[in-house]
Amino acid sequence: MKDKNLLLHLGDFCKKFDVYLQLWSKNSNFPDRLINSISYINSSGGKRIRPFIVCQTANLFGVNFKKSIAAAVSIEMLHTYSLIHDDLPSMDDDDLRRGKKTLHKKYDEATAILTGDSLLTESFLLLAMNYGDKNPNMCVNLSLHLAKSAGGEGLVGGQILDLYPEKKTFKSMTKMQFMKTGELISCSAAFGAILGNASKKDYDNMILFGDKIGRAFQITDDLLDLSGNVKVLGKKTKKDKKQGKLTLVDFKGVDKSKIIAQQYIQEAIELLSKYGKKSNVLVDLSNYIINRSI
Write out 63-112 in H/E/C secondary structure.
Answer: CCHHHHHHHHHHHHHHHHHHHHHHCCCCCCCCCEECCEECHHHHCCHHHH
What pLDDT sits at residue 191?
A: 98
What pLDDT sits at residue 1?
A: 43
Could you report the per-residue pLDDT of 230-254, keeping only the tens digit for each? 655 655 666 666 767 888 999 999 9
Looking at the chain, list the stretches that DSSP marks H as alpha helix, in order from N- to C-terminal side: 2-24, 32-42, 49-60, 65-86, 103-106, 109-131, 136-150, 155-163, 170-177, 183-195, 200-227, 230-233, 239-242, 248-252, 254-272, 280-291
Could you report the per-residue pLDDT of 150-199, keeping only the tens digit for each? 999 999 999 999 999 988 899 999 999 999 999 999 999 999 999 999 99
- How do the domains of the chain map onto residue ranges? 2-291
The second-level CATH assignment, the architecture, of 2-291 is Orthogonal Bundle (1.10)
Dihedral-angle region of residue 94 (phi above 0 means left; psi in -120 to 50 means alpha; beta otherwise): beta
CA distance 234 to 39: 19
Distances (CA, A) of 72 to 43, 78, 109, 231: 17, 10, 27, 28
What pLDDT sits at residue 245?
A: 80
Q: In the chain, which residues have pLDDT < 70?
A: 1-3, 228-241, 243
What pLDDT sits at residue 235?
A: 57
Q: Is 229 helix (H, G, I), strand (E, B) or coil?
A: coil
What pLDDT sits at residue 278?
A: 94
What pLDDT sits at residue 45?
A: 82
What pLDDT sits at residue 53?
A: 98
Q: Is 118 helix (H, G, I), strand (E, B) or coil?
A: helix
